[in-house]
Chains A and B, each alone.
Chain A
Amino acid sequence: MTKNLRVKTSEYIDETNRISFKFNGKTYHGYKGDTLASALLANDVHLVGRSFKYHRPRGIMSSGSEEPNAIVQINPNSDRTEPNVRATEVEIYEGLEATSQNCWPSVEFDIGGINNFLSAFLPAGFYYKTFMWPASFWEKYEFFIRHSAGLGKSPTKNDPDIYDHRNLHFDVLVVGAGISGILAAKNAAKNNFKTLLVDEKNELGGSTIYENNEFNKIDNKTSSEWLKKEIEEIKGIKNLEIKTRTSVAAYHQYNYLLARENLTDHLETKDKTNKIRQRLLKIRAKKVILATGALERPLIFNNNDRPGIMLSSAVKKYSEFYGVACGSKNVFFTNNDSAYESALSLYNKGINVEAIIDIREQSESKIVRKVKETGIKIYWSHSIVDTDGYKRLNSVSIMKLSNDGTSVTGSKISISCDCLGVAGGWTPAVHLYTQSGCKLVFDEEKNVFIPNQNTSNQISVGSCDGDFKIDEIIKNLNQKLKDNFNIKETDLDNMKVEIDQENSKRNIWLLPSNKPLGKTKPFVDYQNDATAKDIKLALREGFRSIEHVKRYTTTGMGTDQGKLGNMHALGIIADTAGVKMGELGTTTFRPPYTPLTFGTIVGRNVGKFFDIFRRTPMNNWHVENKAEFENVGQWKRAWYYPINGETMHQAVQRESKAARESAGILDASTLGKIDIQGSDASEFLNRVYTNAWSKLAIGKCRYGLMLNEDGMVYDDGVTTRLGENHYIMSTTTGGAANVLGKLEDYLQTEWPELDVYLTSVTDHYATASLCGPNSKKILKKIIPDLDLSDENFPHMSFKETNIGDIQCRIMRISFTGEHSYEINVQASYGKDLWEKCMEAGKEFNITPYGTETMHLLRAEKGFIIVGQDTDGTMTPIDLQMDWIVSKKKYDFIGKRSLYRSDTMRKDRKQLVGLLTDDPKIVLEEGAQIVSKLNQSPVEMLGHVTSSYFSPNLNKSIALAVVRGGKDMMGKKLFIPMKDKNINVTVANPVFYDEKNERLNA
């Protein structure tokens, strides 16, 4: 049954390298150099998929990335499977498998095909209109809609491939390696511009490389022959880098472009492993030359979508480039001369061309005359009114077109054929140009949107700028190169170009049929099955904006983004609504130009590289001792240290008790540390903290609260005065970077007169926090010479000393309420310090504890954690921390806001303690608090911010923010949960050692 349609040897097809591949389970053969599409066509396979809505049989339409129909699932049963891949872009390799999509049970017999016969009941907006009511049925509808939606299947396993990102910087980036791109890149590089030339295909040369029109000559050679020499030449230019299989996906501002470089997709599976599959190139270029070419448009006529109906240019490329005949009885349908080139190309290879149907009245160009000489029948002023053949085209019916092009007359002629090449003119590929933010203008004469401006940083050249003829292209390119690159002479100056005469064109966006529009199916968007009649329906229903029509009809919303049909949609709207296309504008072209894989987008940032993380110098000890870890900002912090299979709760209870009963040790290295120096350091601290700093003695520590200018608590921490003009500030772990940023901001912008220098030293120190009643004895063992008496080293003071030869800074400060020391050493000695503490503490059963126990211990003391008990809406007054807000200071950041009417309201949410009536019940953090039950709606008074079971108090404790909570001491409130209401009593947030006696224990 299958025929071999390989018609001649092509230099791009290696016939010595035969490749077998599978399509829909059947084995076929092709050659190295084939795409999946060309190999299938060589095997006479046109039917490759089903359309999205009506499940109509569809074939290969084009030869490039604009393909709307031939989208397939690659390697369906492997980890590397990929859906929605254009068969026209897949280079075949031994063992490749591909299947059709959107069909069941098979592409040959698809149940969904019933939709085609129901199409009269499935107009544009069908889903919007039908599934609106009754509203309660939505869940049932959704089940069916979800099952019928979607094209291919996403892989279910992890992607086995590696992806990469790379930054590139060039003087000039040339996008597209057709004749314009090659000439532009060559001349830029030769004039000492570092140039990058990229093209999405695997071969350079664009469409010119297989252009053999004998009437278009450059330097007396056919353009393809001439271009091949140029390609050889540019490969040797030093300044020029060339990347093929590289598709520019996005063009952002300031000449920042993203491109996908495809490295292994064309290789056999065994050669793919351990290689980078695709690389995202992040290109910054001083100048960008867009040479993206043009896409051929189809024509819009009744049943213009059958397998076997293709773009005329694609028929030519398959014949000239791949050596494949797309059919054995070919017909062309055109509105311009380019179909004649395709017809001649087939004719010269002995492939049968039945007829050319031309909607124009006449053309007298050389190529048309040449075709006439061959005897191929040409039907002038005729249009196709219908096509026949369900899974493969078998005939077209034509009729005479009226003079005004709106109707057909006369009798119907039927022409038998198995391939129809359609040529509707060329659309400049302006996608990247518009992505860069520039505007289009409609060229009335050429009937296309073209770039409105070339800037000093960006030019469009060749057919993407609306130049379709080779002499125009060369002339305009030459001028642009000279203007933009300040070049006096180029080798384009002496090029001798001969071309065929003017191309005449006749543009009719929607071709008439002998049937009324309602009885026809003229497809505009093939993939989404949007027809001209859908577009007209949208207009009748009142849609006017092109963006609305697009969304209502889904025109241009497929994976191909309407590269073929968008212009027709615009044309039909313009004709129907009676407006000019230029006024209508276009829909927005958004990145990516062709779909990108997720792998390319994320590159190496997967798994453990998803985000950077920071580890403390003691980290290995924590790992060796089986700590569980918690992410705090970017830090990996020891969370708790389970022993003998303890649960988190058991471990935390044990750690918390040990820290209060004997001794605990915490890795506090992650706290932010900012070194502050300068003659105005004290004044600076006065301005950034709410309390007074001028009188802090050298060697003393003080807790400070930092606000935002709006009066809300921003950060807190202990700052120590190391010298007259020298402080070290500690910040919260998560807030360190932001605090430094904020302080720098004020210093640079508001108070540049202050002599203050800030340095982040967070990573420079490792900090072990030693706490508990035996902490003093342990420290004494480590540093026997240091006088640890309360007189010499009281709470909130600092000593600089040595542990052996290691310098250290010790602050006697406490976040647990216990007698405790924070010992800071140079980071590289951190683990050593930690081990010394553990060794010395052994006899006291020193217990390492993690962040969870730290949180519990501080909650027992009612100490807040910024970000847990505050959320950017809490003032110090709300936190019942009035004591830390200086009344005497004239100003500090946020002071004025504390006197705003809103921040002084009595019914603000305020921090309180909560005790559950049943001491065993531990509240859920985030639980809502109410004062009344059985009322709806009920007023939410606030929520629980911190909640633990305290082993030291043997009861549950919680901190909460409650509206007007300050005046509710002792009041009964309720926490309504899903299955029960919990009774709670408002209490003092300091649950443990209210008099701070343990600090000096």
Chain B
Amino acid sequence: MFLINCPYCGERDQQEFKAGGEAHIERPKQPTELSDDEWAEYLFMRKNIKGVQFERWNHAHGCRKWFNMVRDTSNDEIKAIYKMGEKPPSQ
């Protein structure tokens, strides 16, 4: 059970949070311009890394804010947490 440092509320138990999948996948501004393959890339393709992964998390049972997390999936170490819109830390 993680202890997650919500950038708005501080450290809280994992059960207050919801995981939201891979981070930094931006919704295309002009979807109609995209080919089926390009749209499918946005829609379906997600990485599943053993190691350092960038993820979205939501403090669903708290402030309800979304934020980003850098997590090592091999040992669940949370390496960094930063707000939406902020630049990801360099690896």
* Residues in A lying within 8 Å of B, measured CB to CB: 252-256, 284, 437, 709-710, 741, 744-745, 748-750, 752, 890-891, 895-897, 899-901
Are B20 and A901 neighbours in the complex by a CB distance under 8 Å?
Answer: no
With a cutoff of 8 Å between Cβ atoms, the chain B residues found around residue A709 in the complex are 27, 43
A60 to chain B, nearest CB (A): 37
Contact (Cβ within 8 A) B31 A752: no
Known: A253-B2, A744-B66, A745-B20. 7 other contacts (CB 8 A): A256-B1, A256-B3, A744-B64, A745-B66, A752-B85, A891-B32, A897-B39
Expressed in whole angstroms, the minimum distance between the Cβ of A134 and any Cβ of chain B is 43
Asked if A437 contacts B76 (CB within 8 A), the reply is yes
Q: A437-B76, A896-B31 are in contact. Are A254 and B84 (CB under 8 A)?
A: no
Which A residues are in CB contact (< 8 Å) with B40? Answer: 900
Interface contact A748-B84, CB-CB below 8 Å:
yes
Residues of chain B lying within 8 A (CB to CB) of residue A890? 32
Q: Is the CB of B39 within 8 A of A900?
A: yes
B20 engages A896 (CB within 8 Å):
no
Return the chain B residue nearest A890 by Cβ: B32
**Complex partner residue of B1 from A254, A744, A749, A900, CB under 8 angstroms:** A254
Tell me the bound Cα distance from A601 to B30 in angstroms. Answer: 51
Please give, as numbers and ranges, the residues of chain B lying within 8 Å of A252 by CB-CB distance.
1
Minimum CB–CB distance for A818 against chain B, Å: 38
By a CB distance below 8 angstroms, the chain B residues around A254 are 1-3
CB distance from B56 to the nearest CB of A (A): 7
User: Which interface residue of B13, B34, B43, B65 has the most chain A CB atoms within 10 A?
Assistant: B43
| Contact assessment for B66 and A891 in the assembled complex, using a CB-CB cutoff below 8 Å | no
Question: Is B58 an interface position by the 8 A CB rule?
Answer: yes
**Assembly CA distance A709 to B31 (angstroms):** 11
CB neighbors of A among B54-91 (8 A): 56, 58, 60, 64-66, 75-76, 84-85
Partner of A284, one of B3, B20, B28, B84: B3
Contact of B66 among A256, A437, A749, A895 (CB under 8 A): A749
Asked whether any CB of chain A lies closer than 8 Å to the CB of B41, the reply is: no
> A750 and B27 in contact (CB under 8 A), knowing A256-B3, A284-B3?
yes
Q: Are A710 and B43 in contact (CB under 8 A)?
A: yes
| Interface bracket on B | 20 to 34
A891 touches B76 (CB 8 A): no
From residue 11 to 60 of chain B, which have CB atoms closer than 8 A to chain A? 13, 18, 20, 26-28, 30-32, 34, 36, 39-40, 43, 56, 58, 60
A741 touching B60 by the CB < 8 A rule? Answer: yes
Q: How far is the CA of A745 from the CA of B2 in the complex (A)?
A: 22
A256 to B1 CA separation, bound complex (whole angstroms) = 6
Given that A437-B75, A709-B43, A752-B85 are known contacts, is A891 also in contact with B31, CB under 8 Å in the complex? yes
Q: Is the CB of A896 within 8 A of B1?
A: no
Please name all residues of chain A whose beta carbon is closer than 8 Å to the beta carbon of B65 when the two chains form the complex: 748
Is A900 a contact partner of B58 (Cβ separation < 8 A)? no
Which residues on B sit within 8 Å (CB–CB) of A284?
A: 3, 13
B31 nearest CB across to chain A (Å): 4
Tell which of B1, B20, B26 touches A253, judged by Cβ atoms closer than 8 Å: B1
B13 to chain A, nearest CB (A): 7
Q: Is the CB of B31 within 8 A of A749?
A: no
Docked Cα-Cα span, A437 to B1, in Å, equals 12
Residues from chain B with a CB closer than 8 A to the CB of A750 are 26-27
Contacts of A741 in B (CB 8 A): 18, 58, 60
A576 to B26, CA, bound (A): 57
Distance in Å: Cβ of B57 to nearest Cβ of chain A: 11
Q: Which residues of A contact B34 (CB under 8 A)?
A: 896
User: Per a CB cutoff under 8 Å, which of B30, B36, B58 touches A745?
Assistant: B58
Within the complex, the shortest CB–CB distance from A1 to chain B, in Å, comes to 54
Residues of the A chain whose Cβ atoms lie less than 8 Å from the Cβ of B43 = 709-710, 897
The distance in angstroms between the C-alpha atoms of A79 and B2, with both chains bound, is 38
Contact indicator B84/A253 (Cβ below 8 Å) = no
18 example contacts (A-B, Cβ-Cβ < 8 A) are as follows A253-B1, A254-B2, A254-B3, A256-B1, A256-B3, A256-B13, A284-B3, A437-B75, A745-B20, A745-B58, A748-B66, A749-B66, A752-B84, A752-B85, A895-B31, A896-B28, A900-B36, A901-B36
Among B26, B30, B36, B60: residue with most chain A CB under 10 A:
B36
Measured between alpha carbons, how far is A153 from B39 in the docked complex, in Å? Answer: 58
* Chain B min CB distance to A943 (Å): 26
Give min CB distance, A888 to chain B, whole Å. Answer: 12
Distance in angstroms between the alpha carbons of A752 and B85 in the assembled complex: 9
Residues of B within 8 A of A891 (CB): 30-32
B30: min CB distance to chain A, Å: 8
Q: How far is the CA of A815 from the CA of B53 in the complex (A)?
A: 46
B67: nearest chain-A partner, CB-CB: A748
Q: Given the complex, which residues of B lie within 8 Å of A437, measured CB to CB?
A: 75-76
Q: Which residue of A lies closest to B18 (CB)?
A: A741
Taking a contact as CB atoms closer than 8 A, the residue among A710, A744, A895, A900 that contacts B32 in the complex is A895
Contact partners of B18 in chain A: CB under 8 A: 741
Q: How far is the CA of A835 from the CA of B32 in the complex (A)?
A: 52
Could you tell me the distance between the alpha carbons of A3 and B23 in the complex, rounded to whole angstroms?
72
Bound complex: CA of A891 vs CA of B29, how far in Å? 9
Closest to A256 in B: B1
| CB-defined contacts of A752 to chain B, threshold 8 Å | 84-85
